[in-house]
Structure 1
Amino acid sequence: MTTTITPIAIVTGGSRGLGKSTALHLAAQGTDIILTYRSQAAEAQAVVAQIEALGRRAVALPLDVAVSARFADFAAQVKAALATTWQRDRFNFLVNNAGHGAYASLMDTTEAQFDALFNVHLKGVFFLTQKLLPLMADGGRIVNISSGLTRFALPGYAAYAAMKGAVEVMTRYMAKELGARGIAVNTLAPGAIETDFGGGTVRDNPEVNGFIAAQTALGRVGLPDDIGGAIATLLSPGNGWVTAQRIEASGGMFI
């Protein structure tokens, strides 16, 4: 009789938005979750409760992806959580989702804005992955979140899109270097989504929402579940042979 081991996923920024949707979709397909939050502990615990209601186990850990000096401590917390909650020493999936936006023209972007984007979206993803890889099982998978803005250009997002473009290159290098361990690494690039990201403009501004919907093949703006479902599908058992790819989930925005 073969015993199937439940996979464990780490989802950064899992207390809200796309990360929350990803965690819930993964739980629904049989994955246990370690989710991170920066400051919203109550929201994170509410997601843990939702995951547990689906019959899965979950732990919420604090993490500021902008502060790489604390990543070793975070890895130690992950190791302890694996031992305490699962009696295991390895996790299987990493979804590098945590992030924030910044809207400013090329001329108006400040160094502080640029550095904040760099620390979270590029440096943070690089070094957090580095610190967690010793705890990842061989044959695991990594999904890095990018953006449709690396394919099409909208004024005001130069710095943000530049970081995400770098993430896409980094993903291919990760796939190459980690292939020997059987670890698949891919990029998931959302289009415009109705969340509180960037102040909730896409969700709350009817003009912006209508403009994007009119430029999208499927005729509407994306929802968090569109992305959470896509990431969960990418991490499903049948997709293990997909690696080093940029997969856009935008409903056909600006095609």
Structure 2
Amino acid sequence: MTAGNTGTKIAIVTGGSRGLGRNTVINLARRGVNSLFTYRANRAEADKVVSLVAEAGQKAIALPLDTGKVNTFDAFVEQVRKSLPELGAERFDFLVNNAGTSNHTPFEQTTEEELDGLYNVHFKGVFFLTQKLLPLINDGGRIVNISSGLTRVAFPGSGSYASMKGAVEVLTRYLAKELGPRKIAVNTVAPGAVATDFSGGMVRDNPEINRRVAEATALGRAGVPDDIGPMIASLLSEDNRWVNAQRIEVAGGMVI
């Protein structure tokens, strides 16, 4: 899928045991891509993803990682280095910075601890994990940073979360510029409201919220993981090799 490298491609996906990350890993497998993905605590769910990837004819390795703890990244990168040969390579091709936490605290009530937690996972973690993995990513590889439709449309209570995602969108453009000499393309994917367990399953499990999302969306429904994972897998493919430094919203036309 990447020019100049004809072997099986390898992706690293953070937060790959659930939600959009899980769907991305599975859809990459369907396109012939092996994955090394992270999970924070639920090993059982991670093992299920490994099995689903195997059913699709590919290989996946699950490694534990809290993306908010930068001081663990050196050890994690060493684990990645040791694990890659199990997937048939010394380096990898694609990085999807997906892992995240939600927050819906109104601005006036947001604590320093809450803001620091969001910063550590959504910006600092993305920044330094990407930096530390750069020596292992192939030239001509691709990076996708996951943002949110909330950077474009303001919903009260989401300001702290959306601000961190906004920072990631700016970082994406700078990475695209600075990694250009290595032919590494970097893009942002910004999902709209998706029915997963994110935010406590709010869109998936609350009929009123789901209805309001559907009414605000041109295509008339809330998103589902299968709307997002295939898109990310496609963006990483050779079909989209000339897409770079872009923010692509995948939201069915929400609030337009």
Q: 1:56: which partner in 2?
A: 58
TM-score, normalised to structure 2, is 0.97
In 1, distance between residues paired with 2:48 and 2:205? 24
> Per-residue displacement from partner, 1:51-107 (whole Å, max 9, x unpaired)?
011110111001100000010110000000012x03421100000000010111110
Q: 2:9: which partner in 1?
A: 7
In 2, distance between residues paired with 1:100 and 1:225? 20
Q: 1:183: which partner in 2?
A: 184
Q: 2:233: which partner in 1?
A: 232
- Give the match's secondary structure for 1:209: helix
In 1, distance between residues paired with 2:6 and 2:132? 27
In 2, distance between residues paired with 1:227 and 1:207? 23
1:120 counterpart letter in structure 2: V
Query: After the TM superposition, which of the residue ranges 135-144 and 235-244 deviates more from structure 2?
Result: 235-244
Deviation at 1:241, TM superposition (A): 1.0
2:110 counterpart letter in structure 1: T
In 2, distance between residues paired with 1:3 and 1:82? 16
**Where in structure 1 are there 5+ consecutive unaligned residues?**
none
1:59 counterpart letter in structure 2: I
26, 29, 32: which one aligns with 2:28: 26
Runs of 4+ in 1 over 3 A off after TM superposition: none
- Give the match's secondary structure for 1:98: coil
Contact 2:11 2:35 in 1 (8 A): yes
- Give the match's secondary structure for 1:227: helix
Alignment of 1:70-219 (within 5 A): 70-83=72-85, 85-219=86-220
TM-score, normalised to structure 1, is 0.98
**Where in structure 2 are there 5+ consecutive unaligned residues?**
none
Deviation at 1:3, TM superposition (A): 8.7
- Give the match's secondary structure for 2:108: coil
1:52 counterpart letter in structure 2: A
Deviation at 1:151, TM superposition (A): 0.4
1:36 counterpart letter in structure 2: T
1:50 counterpart letter in structure 2: L
In 1, distance between residues paired with 2:177 and 2:240? 17
How large is the Cα RMSD of the aligned pairs? 1.1
Q: 1:250: which partner in 2?
A: 251
1:222 counterpart letter in structure 2: G
Quote the sequence identity (%): 60
Deviation at 1:130, TM superposition (A): 0.4
In 1, distance between residues paired with 2:88 and 2:247? 34
Contact 2:54 2:60 in 1 (8 A): yes
1:53 counterpart letter in structure 2: E
In 2, distance between residues paired with 1:211 and 1:185? 33
